[in-house]
Amino acid sequence: MAAAEDRRTTVARLMDAARRDLAEGGPARALETYARVLALEPDNADALSNTGVCLRRLGRHGAAVAAYHRALATHPGAPAVWSNLGNAYRDLGRLDEAEAALNRARDLSGGAVDTVFNLALVLKDKGRFDDSLALLDAVLARHPDHVGAAWDRALLLLETGDLKRGFDAYETRWKRADARRLSLDSPPWDGTDLGDGTLLVVREQGFGDMIQFARFAAQARQRCGRLVVECQPEMLRLMATVPGVDAVASEHEPPPPHDAHVPMLGLPRLLGTDLDSIPAQVPYLRPPRPAKPAPHSLPRDRFRVGIAWAGKPTHRNDRNRSCPPQRFLDLMEVPGAVFACLQKGPAAADLTGQVPAALLPDLAAACDDFADTAAVMQNLDLVVTVDTAVAHLAGALGRPVWVLLPHVPDWRWMRGRDDSPWYPTMRLFRQDRPGDWEGVFRRARAALSQAVSDSRARAAGAR
pLDDT in tens, 293-335: 666 678 888 999 999 998 776 666 667 788 999 999 999 999 9
Q: Which residues contact 445 (CB under 8 A, 6 or more apart)?
A: 330, 331, 333, 334
Q: How far is CA 210 from CA 50, 266, 418, 430, in A?
A: 39, 11, 23, 24
428 DSSP β-pair partners: 403
Distance CA 24, CA 9 (A): 23
Which amino acid makes up residue 417? R
Q: Which candidate, 133, 254, 271, 139, places its Cα nearest to that of 202?
A: 254
Q: What is the mean pLDDT of residues 73-102?
A: 95
Q: How confident is the model at residue 463 (pLDDT cuts 50, 70, 90)?
A: low
What pLDDT is recorded for position 178? 83
**Count of other CB atoms within 10 angstroms of residue 174:** 13
Burial class (CB in 10 A: 0-12, 13-18, 19+), 400: middle
386 DSSP β-pair partners: 404
Asked if 342 contacts 308 with a C-beta cutoff of 8 angstroms, the reply is yes
Burial class (CB in 10 A: 0-12, 13-18, 19+), 387: buried
Q: What is the mean pLDDT of residues 98-110?
A: 97
Distance CA 378, CA 380 (A): 6
Give φ, ψ of 60 to 5 degrees: -100, 70
Could you give the strand order of the β-sheet that contains 247-250, starting from the edge strand earlier in sequence? 247-250, 226-231, 198-202, 260-263
Whether omega before 257 lies within 30 degrees of 0, making that bond cis, reads no
What pLDDT is recorded for position 315? 61
What pLDDT is recorded for position 86? 97
Reply yes or no on whether the pLDDT at 449 is more than 80: yes
pTM of the model: 0.90
Q: Which candidate, 408, 404, 406, places its Cα nearest to that of 390?
A: 404
Distance CA 411, CA 428 (A): 13
Q: What is the mean pLDDT of residues 354-359?
A: 88
Distance CA 275, CA 159 (A): 11
N residues, the chain? 463
What pLDDT is recorded for position 4? 61
What pLDDT is recorded for position 294? 67
Query: 161: left (phi > 0), else alpha (psi -120 to 50), else beta?
Result: left
Q: How far is CA 91 from CA 88, 122, 184, 316, 455, in A?
A: 5, 10, 38, 11, 41
Q: How confident is the model at residue 429 (pLDDT cuts 50, 70, 90)?
A: very high
Q: What is the mean pLDDT of residues 203-228?
A: 97
CA angle 310, 410, 173 (to 5 degrees): 115
Q: Which candidate, 54, 46, 56, places its Cα nearest to that of 80?
A: 46
**Count of other CB atoms within 10 angstroms of residue 182:** 13
Query: Average model confidence (pLDDT) for the chain?
Result: 92
pLDDT in tens, 244-298: 999 999 999 999 999 999 999 999 999 999 999 999 999 999 998 876 766 667 8
pLDDT in tens, 145-193: 999 999 999 999 999 999 999 999 999 999 988 887 788 989 999 999 9
Reply yes or no on whether the pLDDT at 2 is more than 60: no
